[in-house]
Amino acid sequence: METPESHFATVGEHKIHYHVVGSGEPLVLLHGGGPGASGWSNYSRNVDALSRDFQLIIPDLIGYGRSDRPHLAGPRFGIYAKYVLGLLDSLGVKRAHVVGNSLGGGTAIKMALDAPERLGRLVLMGPAGLLAPSTPTPTVGTRQIMEFYSGEGPTREKLRTFLQTMIYDSSFLTEELLDQRFAAATQPDLVANPPLGRGGPPPIEALWKENLAGIQNETLILWGREDRVNPMDMHLILLAQVPNAQFTVFTQCGHWVQWERAKAFNSLVASFLRGEMDRN
């Protein structure tokens, strides 16, 4: 599918870039935080299928893609959640389902904690901000994110290594994808001001310490068993505390469930959002 028309909304003092595709109940797709990430690059394999039933709102988080890149100070999930909710305000959307991958998953959790009435159902794919009870951290993927803009700065080989870490099957990594991500990751203002900082731990909240048991939204947790960024054992705290959560694991799959297992992801997510997986 060709990239759909771009739109911009002013949220506070900054512009947020987004796409809108399809019709039906609003569904927000939130991308991850790796170098060169954007809404479209994360979800291009899912738009055709999901837009048949839902109005997809696909933003670039503040600091990513074509959204403004201000200096961000403070824990990121609260910042990202504020801007996504502000985007929904600007569109007149009072309530939406939310799908979030990695950084976007942590943002979705923060939205559910801060404004539960604004969210319908949640789909969380390898979300960040959780505790890994049995896996040493930081993981290899997290270290690669931390190191991408440090040292000699961004290089194509650093990005190739990182993207290979994201996925189980490296045949999914095309030169076209690498070119697109590297161009996006090396914009001068982004290199000068990386959204997750440079060299140190990502400035994100420890969501596992917050009131996860208070999230009443129907929640679908998805993980790739071979995830080398946010390891699969992180799901345990969500499954133990979020009262209406269910969990599915994809074998031979890394951090990008929606990319590597697109067909199964699209079918499962659409079924969940339509309520077809609810208890009878």
Give the pTM: 0.97
Residues contacting residue 280 through CB under 8 Å, at least 6 positions apart: none
For all residues of the chain together, what is the average pLDDT?
A: 95
Half-sphere exposure of 213 (CA within 13 A, CB side): 3
Do the Cβ atoms of 32 and 104 come closer than 8 Å?
Answer: yes
> CA gyration radius for the chain?
17
Parallel, antiparallel or unpaired: strands 119-125 and 54-59? unpaired
Sorted by where each starts, the structural domains of the chain and their CATH numbers stand as 7-135+212-273 (3.40.50.1820)
Closest CA to 260 of 237, 229, 227: 227
Do the Cβ atoms of 246 and 146 come closer than 8 Å?
Answer: no
What's the Cα-to-Cα distance from 101 to each of 52, 152, 162, rounded to whole Å? 21, 28, 16
| Residue 172, pLDDT score | 79
- Residues labelled as active-site residues: 255
Low-confidence ranges of the chain (pLDDT < 70): 280
| Residue 278, pLDDT score | 86
Q: Is 275 exposed, middle or buried (0-12, 13-18, 19+ CB in 10 A)?
A: exposed
| Residue 280, pLDDT score | 62
Parallel, antiparallel or unpaired: strands 25-30 and 96-101? parallel
Closest CA to 29 of 128, 87, 105, 91: 105
